[in-house]
Chains A and B, each alone.
Chain A
Amino acid sequence: MRKLTSFAAGLLFGLGLLLSGMANPAKVIGFLDLFGAWDPSLAMVMVGAIGTALVPFSLAKGRQRSLLDAPMQLPSKRELDGRLIGGSLIFGIGWGIAGICPGPAIAVLLSGHWQVLLFVLAMLGGMLLFSALESRRAC
């Protein structure tokens, strides 16, 4: 059952990304081009998404188990450290270069554009590089 709801949520998430316009890199760059001709559409996506998700998340915070009796797994970290800021800076630079972030990249991966495939492979490579560096640090 949980796999089914997970799949349905993923499907809805992907449809939302496609409808929002954020699958198109030009649209994302248009939003990030604050000092040029600025397209505020992505701000509307955030307003719609956060406005809708606020209530479910406030309900979720008060629960130990989900409605399907899975453990509620909300992040517990609170410190604002260099990794959070540094990582977000690196992510933002990459996002600004291509206008693609992980969600939309997956949502259009099957569209057959080599550009998306290259981006996703490089992104997964970056994630593997991170885990390799982390496991070396742990030794």
Chain B
Amino acid sequence: MTIDWGNFTPWTALAGGVLIGAAAGLFVLLNGRIAGISGLLASLLERDAEGRGEKLVFILGVLLAPLLWVSFTFLPALEFQSGWLGLGVAGLLVGIGTRYGSGCTSGHGVCGISRLSPRSIVATLTFMAAGFATVFVLRHLLRG
């Protein structure tokens, strides 16, 4: 392992994290809800989910954030790492996996760990390990 100092952006990463944490904190204190994106999205797919309106406007907020962002600066560049097949398979796995595992990086990783939930700590360690292993296989084993 070597550290990629050239791409390491500790301060914007930390500041972005603080905003994410503040948003999740406000959402739970004011609305009594977990800011877990996969869970919120899944609720929007159900016709009679509880609190659908509130969940919808949270997702709308995330969706519209770039419009506010561009009034200050350029949108960050997006460098995609896979073609259409990879993206399709990845999306499908993320959709199925987050439902079986009841959460993703936001619900388990940020909210769950912040409320010290053993389930979320185990889930986060598991998907991180799977992510490390997948990138190792795709980048170093298959591509040589």
Contact = CB atoms under 8 A, between A and B. Distances in A.
Contacts of A89: 97, 101, 126-127, 130
Contacts of B20: 13, 16-17, 20, 45, 48-49, 52
A100 B18 CA distance: 20
Interface in A1-54: 2-3, 5-27, 29-30, 32-42, 44-54
Contacts of A59: 29
Majority DSSP secondary structure for residues of B touching A: helix
Contacts of B113: 46, 50
B26 A96 contact: no
B122 A80 contact: yes
B40 to A, nearest CB: 9
Contacts of B118: 78, 80
Contacts, number: 494
B104 A102 contact: yes
A19 B19 contact: yes
Interface in B51-67: 53-55, 57-67
Contact of A118 (B41, B87, B97): B87
B110 A10 contact: no
Interface of B: 1-4, 7-10, 12-35, 37-38, 41-42, 45-46, 53-55, 57-69, 75-82, 84, 86-102, 104-106, 108-119, 122-124, 126-136, 138-140
Given A21-B13, A50-B21, 8 more contacts: A9-B35, A40-B3, A47-B17, A50-B113, A67-B29, A77-B102, A92-B133, A98-B81
Which 8 A-B residue pairs are closest in the complex by CB-CB distance? A126-B95, A10-B61, A48-B17, A14-B65, A92-B130, A20-B16, A87-B101, A96-B134
